A and B are shown apart, each in its own frame.
Chain A
């Protein structure tokens, strides 16, 4: 809310300058957004939190300044406003309006009018036009400007009608007829529903209550008779209508938060005063029509100052005394009663936010000062801190992948569709706002593809830990995932030329195995039961976690990107991808891990080259060789068994390849003899022969 500081100084006699007042309001909870110099004067821009509608007026903020700063004093104007800006004619009604004003809805709690006769609705006085501009509004005419001015000054929205245009000379608040039409002041036509509250004359709607007046009864330069209305509307009704009509106004903004129901007549009186000052003659018809069927009864809340000190943490000399607490509350307009504690506190009509003791604790704290709160560390028994479970696993995975050279990316969950998305159901917000974020990703691979695109699609090794969404058995499912993308050189390029290793299926396999190590679940790959169309059909695998058959499950998929998909989404054709479901990976128990003790006896190594039919998988060969290595020798340690060469080409007949495996074995506590090592080698050769492999 913007207002010139001179307006506030009409309410508060103070030595404070604009900046000091702004800072003081900030520390009272009304944040200074800025001070602008407008037409030679400092204009404060104050942000008011949503539960403090009483702060949406200069008068309301003055009250906060006075409560917070005991050296500031209320002015006569403040005292007059606080007492209701009495003109003296309030207790009598207006004969001309007898039987012509009515509340016909539950959503209006108070409705009051004044009548003005013989007015000239020309421009408002220059001083007022200046202030209207300082508030960020446009001067229009005397009645429009005065009602806007008083709304900012006192917080009560008002509306002026050209009285002769009201059919039947009547005004009422009622619910709209279903389908009833209203053209608002801005010229828009609205078709209303029965839950919209309207101001109406005898025959038609003339305003959307609490939101905007109607075009048909608008004051003009020709207006000589004005009916001025001020009311108190139920905030939820105003909010609903405002949203439906798409009209956010200064009035609806205030009604939605809160307006003091007891300030209705005061605002009418203030308008009368300002209009008569401007026109320099009496134009106010004596009397007020004030329909206020059931004024709210102020509730009382007990407060213990000891409780306030305990919750705020005030200690020693900074503790709040009962006298201080009462003084703070009284300065804010609360009534206090009783001795000792608890004492009873009655809220003023402008503070519907106060419901219970804790609300009063905040009021006391606000005025006493948050800077007086000491700093104490958390008390009590210290629980187990830090991360465990899924989060600890995510941290370990990130560490493992970064060590291997993968760079972490983090990208949006909301996105558009993509060739690499999963075939599982995809959904998004029902109000996405933009097609760029119409869906929640169901795979991290599209995000990694985007990251690859942004960074040139070459020599990139990326991973992301993130969440994906899909629908499983009719319910929303959210999963933690880890995905990797790898393409190009695995080593950094340099002016010293060395041929780099290039990422391929098997370098990605090693990254996938590292994820397994981080999660303490050994990883193996198997040929997919169903081909995933995102990947190269003969270079893809399902990722299986777990060492023991009973503890083993598919947790992800990996492979080289399908060449058509690569072309469609701008990836290099040799890009390899993997995605692992971490909820699945972490679901089952970790596999037991027993570190191997190191033998200090010498090792023996042997190589074997065989001619092997191409159809025999390495997995088969690997397990056959490993069991042959051990044989029945329980004390034999297989320190290393690996494939060291694969050769096809010259000298090798088609359908075969030459494989060279190498192993290193030892015994614990005794030396292996050459004969023993050769026996082991013979067993392996036999096992390979069993698979159709002939030693070369």
Chain B
């Protein structure tokens, strides 16, 4: 029986002497393990006289509990110290450069187009995906009410492929494809986004290639007020909910009345009016040419340049950036 206090004292001494949790683990095994010296005492019980068995068992259990408690306390102390050392050793400089994933990203014009598609789609305009860059000349001019030899054609020095094929100068040519080829009858709301071409040299502010949004609706009782309201909603969702729209008379052969519209928001453009595009009520001659009763139906149409939106929003003043694909430029919008 006297062996028990002695063993306990040895155990306590050994525990106190441990320098690490690993040491402690072996000390723990040495005394408390299945074949540890304290646990071994239990194996002596059967050899004892029956009347000594309970007292002996009690003593061993009490001893074991105290040693276990000491192990647990020592473990806490050692672990705290070890963790401290570990964390000191593992310290990083959080200001070091981030480790980049290599995600792909969209071109800034595509991002703009996606936003436009969402906004116009939300107002019930359907995207027309059968537009043609290489357009039949009459859809670009005659079908849009350009009189033959009209000076307005001067403003669009056009790339002709042949006498009757050209690179479209405006996406408005899709009206002809919907009304003339597909013979769609009102009511309708359509829009498209595509590439347009003018015979110009490329420099900071000019390009032979632009992207354009073109949109129109035809229904009963459509007025300039619906055009203005639609453009206001469009501008609000594109540029901020406080966006305002202003009309100014302008001339395009395919609308009557024709306007150009400007947008202003307090945040984005410092309250200045920035012209966004042309608009108006679809010229009645175009409706009549497609057997649409102009007393019953009217329509509006508007267009704008896609490049113009990031140019306005971010102050990009060199058009060439958009189609050169220098990733130093593009990745900023990722």
Q: Give the B-binding residues of A (Cβ under 8 A).
A: 26-29, 31, 49-52, 235-236, 239-240, 256-257, 310-315, 356, 358-359, 361-362, 365-366, 370-371, 373-391, 395, 398, 401-414, 427-434, 436-437, 440, 450-451, 454-455, 460-463, 465, 467, 469, 476, 478, 489-492, 494-496
Given known pairs A51-B251, A387-B129, the reply for A376 and B226 (CB within 8 Å) is yes
Q: Give the A-binding residues of B (Cβ under 8 A).
A: 96-97, 99-107, 109-110, 114, 117-118, 120-127, 129-130, 132-134, 149-152, 154-155, 159-162, 165, 167, 187-189, 195, 197, 199-202, 208-209, 217, 219-230, 232-233, 245-251, 253, 256-259, 281, 283-284, 298, 322-327, 330-331, 334
Which residue from B127, B155, B160, B325 sits with its C-beta under 8 Å from A431? B160
Given A385-B121, A404-B104, A490-B102, 19 further pairs, Cβ under 8 A? A50-B152, A50-B251, A311-B298, A312-B257, A370-B249, A370-B259, A376-B226, A379-B220, A383-B125, A384-B126, A390-B130, A407-B327, A408-B330, A413-B197, A430-B160, A433-B208, A463-B104, A478-B134, A492-B101
State whether A29 touches B134 (Cβ < 8 A). Answer: no
Closest chain B CB from A647 CB (angstroms): 29
Closest chain B CB from A448 CB (angstroms): 9
* Bound CA–CA A655/B154 (angstroms): 70
Given known pairs A414-B197, A437-B208, the reply for A379 and B221 (CB within 8 Å) is yes
Q: Which 5 A-B pairs have the closest CB atoms?
A: A313-B225, A29-B249, A386-B121, A313-B223, A362-B257
Closest chain B CB from A438 CB (angstroms): 10
State whether B229 touches A375 (Cβ < 8 A). Answer: yes
State whether A478 touches B327 (Cβ < 8 A). Answer: no
Residues of A within 8 A of B105 (CB): 402, 407-408
* Bound CA–CA A380/B223 (angstroms): 12
State whether B126 touches A385 (Cβ < 8 A). Answer: yes
Residues of A within 8 A of B96 (CB): 495
* Bound CA–CA A672/B68 (angstroms): 46
9 A-B contacts, Cβ less than 8 Å apart? Answer: A26-B248, A50-B152, A52-B251, A378-B230, A386-B121, A386-B127, A410-B109, A411-B324, A489-B102
- In the complex formed, the residue of B with least CB distance to A403 is B104
Residues of B within 8 A of A433 (CB): 199-201, 208
Closest chain B CB from A459 CB (angstroms): 9
State whether A405 touches B104 (Cβ < 8 A). Answer: yes
State whether B257 touches A454 (Cβ < 8 A). Answer: no
Residues of A within 8 A of B152 (CB): 50-51
* Bound CA–CA A390/B131 (angstroms): 11
Given known pairs A358-B257, A431-B199, the reply for A402 and B106 (CB within 8 Å) is yes
State whether B134 touches A358 (Cβ < 8 A). Answer: no
State whether B129 touches A492 (Cβ < 8 A). Answer: no
Which residue from A235, A386, A406 sits with its C-beta under 8 Å from B104? A406
Residues of A within 8 A of B195 (CB): 413, 467
State whether A414 touches B208 (Cβ < 8 A). Answer: yes
- In the complex formed, the residue of B with least CB distance to A314 is B225
State whether B228 touches A431 (Cβ < 8 A). Answer: no
Given known pairs A50-B151, A405-B102, the reply for A375 and B225 (CB within 8 Å) is yes
Given known pairs A359-B256, A409-B107, A494-B100, the reply for A455 and B327 (CB within 8 Å) is yes
State whether A376 touches B228 (Cβ < 8 A). Answer: yes
Closest chain A CB from B78 CB (angstroms): 32
Residues of A within 8 A of B257 (CB): 311-312, 358, 361-362, 365-366
* Bound CA–CA A537/B140 (angstroms): 44
Closest chain A CB from B115 CB (angstroms): 12
Closest chain B CB from A393 CB (angstroms): 9
State whether A410 touches B323 (Cβ < 8 A). Answer: yes
Given known pairs A380-B219, A385-B121, the reply for A373 and B104 (CB within 8 Å) is no
Residues of B within 8 A of A407 (CB): 104-105, 327, 330-331, 334
State whether B219 touches A379 (Cβ < 8 A). Answer: yes
* Bound CA–CA A460/B283 (angstroms): 49
- In the complex formed, the residue of B with least CB distance to A357 is B284
- In the complex formed, the residue of B with least CB distance to A365 is B257
Residues of A within 8 A of B200 (CB): 433
State whether B161 touches A430 (Cβ < 8 A). Answer: yes
Residues of A within 8 A of B154 (CB): 50
Residues of A within 8 A of B104 (CB): 401-408, 461, 463
- In the complex formed, the residue of A with least CB distance to B257 is A362
Residues of A within 8 A of B253 (CB): 51
State whether A365 touches B224 (Cβ < 8 A). Answer: yes
Given known pairs A313-B223, A378-B123, the reply for A236 and B187 (CB within 8 Å) is no
Closest chain A CB from B188 CB (angstroms): 7
* Bound CA–CA A430/B256 (angstroms): 33
Residues of B within 8 A of A414 (CB): 159, 167, 197, 208-209
Closest chain B CB from A215 CB (angstroms): 27
Which residue from B125, B224, B230, B334 sits with its C-beta under 8 Å from A311? B224
State whether B325 touches A409 (Cβ < 8 A). Answer: yes
State whether B283 touches A358 (Cβ < 8 A). Answer: yes
State whether B110 touches A378 (Cβ < 8 A). Answer: no
Closest chain A CB from B231 CB (angstroms): 8
- Which of B127, B160, B281, B325 has the most C-beta atoms of chain A within 10 angstroms of its own C-beta? B325
Given known pairs A407-B330, A478-B134, the reply for A378 and B229 (CB within 8 Å) is yes
Closest chain B CB from A479 CB (angstroms): 11
* Bound CA–CA A390/B125 (angstroms): 16
Residues of A within 8 A of B103 (CB): 402-403, 405
State whether A236 touches B149 (Cβ < 8 A). Answer: yes
* Bound CA–CA A432/B159 (angstroms): 7
Closest chain A CB from B162 CB (angstroms): 7
Residues of A within 8 A of B110 (CB): 398, 408, 410, 465
Which residue from A356, A377, A463 sits with its C-beta under 8 Å from B229? A377
Residues of B within 8 A of A489 (CB): 102
Closest chain A CB from B322 CB (angstroms): 7
- In the complex formed, the residue of A with least CB distance to B281 is A311
Closest chain B CB from A16 CB (angstroms): 18
Closest chain A CB from B137 CB (angstroms): 12
Residues of B within 8 A of A401 (CB): 104
- Which of A52, A358, A405, A411 has the most C-beta atoms of chain B within 10 angstroms of its own C-beta? A358
* Bound CA–CA A573/B62 (angstroms): 78
- In the complex formed, the residue of A with least CB distance to B103 is A405
Residues of A within 8 A of B283 (CB): 358
Which residue from B109, B117, B281 sits with its C-beta under 8 Å from A386? B117
State whether A383 touches B188 (Cβ < 8 A). Answer: yes
* Bound CA–CA A384/B165 (angstroms): 32
Given known pairs A50-B151, A413-B195, the reply for A383 and B325 (CB within 8 Å) is no
State whether B124 touches A362 (Cβ < 8 A). Answer: no
